[in-house]
Amino acid sequence: MLSRTRLFLVASALGFAASAHAADIYDPPPIVMPPAPPQYVEAPAVSGGGWYLRGDINYHWSNIRGIEYITYGTPPGTNDFDTADLKGALSLGGGIGYQISRHLRTDLTADYWFKSDFRGSTSGFCFGPPMAPCTSVDRSSYKALLLMANAYIDLGTYRGITPYVGAGIGGAWVRWNDLLNTNDDGEFVHEGGKGWRFAWSLMAGASYCLTENLQLDAGYRFSRIEGGRMFGFSANAGPGYDDGFNVHEARAGLRYTFGGPSLHCAVTEPQIVAYEPPPYDPPVYK
C-alpha cells in the first residue's frame, strides 16, 4: 500500500495537470482578421462646362457642277464651258458651341475660304478677220465666307476618343474675282459676281481629350453651295452663272470647354474609398 506521503504527492501532481489542462481550454488563440477587400463607390456626377470655343485650320477642294454663260444677240444664245476646274485652297474657321448632353451638342461657326483658282475654256467664233471658230482660255478665282449652324451626335467616348457625325445649314458669301477671257481677238475682262447663297453640310470625325478642358478635333466636312452669278457682260458675251460647288474639307482644330471640364474628358471611373472594419470584441469564456 502507498504511504500517506506518496498519496499526497500523486494527488498534487494530478491536480496540477488538471489545472493546466483547464487553463488551456479557457485561453483561446488570437483571432487574425483577414484583410478587407477594397470598396468602390461611383464617382460623383460630373457637372462639366457646357460652353466651348473652337478653332480650325482646313484644306478644301471644290468640284464645280457646271458653268454656263449667256451670249446676247438676236436671238440670244446659250453656251456652256467646255472645261472647268477649281484648285484646292486653305481655310480658317472658328465658332462657339454648347454641349447639351454627352451625346448632343451644337455650335455656330464661321469659315473663311482663301482664294481657289479657276481655269476653264469655251468654244465660239472670233471676229478675225475672217470670222472663224476659236477657243478661249478663261481664268478667275473665288473666295467665300461660310456661316453655319451645326448639330452633332457624339457616339460615346472610348479611351478619350469620341467619334461623331453632324449636319449644318446656313449661307455662303461667294466673291468671284474678275474673269480674264483670252482668245484670238485679244483679252477681255468680265467683272466678277458676288452675293449670298444657300449652303448645307454633313460632317464626320472624332475628338481626343488632351486635358479635361481641351480636345483635339479632326474630321471631314462635305458642303454644298448653291449656284449664282459668276461674271458680268463684256465683249458681246455674258453674264455667266456657276451651278454651285460641292466642297470637300479635311479639318483639324481644337475645342476648349470653359466653366468646368468637358463631359467627355472628366474622370468618371469608380473611386476606391478607405475601409475601416468594425471594432472587434474578443469572446468571453466562462
- DSSP letters, 122-155, are EEEEE--SSPEEEEEEEEEEEEEEEEEEEEEEE-
pLDDT of residue 32: 59
Nearest to 197 by CA among 221, 169, 174: 174
pLDDT of residue 38: 60
Is the separation of the CB atoms in 192 and 214 below 8 Å?
A: no
pLDDT of residue 93: 97
- Element holding 15 (H helix, E strand): helix 4-25
Q: Which residues of the chain have pLDDT under 50?
A: 1-2, 22-23, 74
The CA distances from residue 121 to 67, 118, 134, 138, 184, in Å, are 10, 10, 10, 6, 13
- Element holding 10 (H helix, E strand): helix 4-25
Q: 251 φ, ψ to 5°?
A: -120, 145
CATH number of 51-258: 2.40.160.20
Q: What strands, in cross-sheet order, belong to the sheet with 240-242?
A: 77-80, 67-71, 240-242, 228-231
Rounded to an integer, what distance in angstroms lies between the CA atom of residue 112 and that of residue 247? 13
C-alpha cell of residue 199: 449652303
How big is the chain, counted in residues?
286
Rounded to an integer, what distance in angstroms lies between the CA atom of residue 199 and that of residue 119? 23
For residue 82, the 8-state DSSP code is: S
pLDDT of residue 140: 95
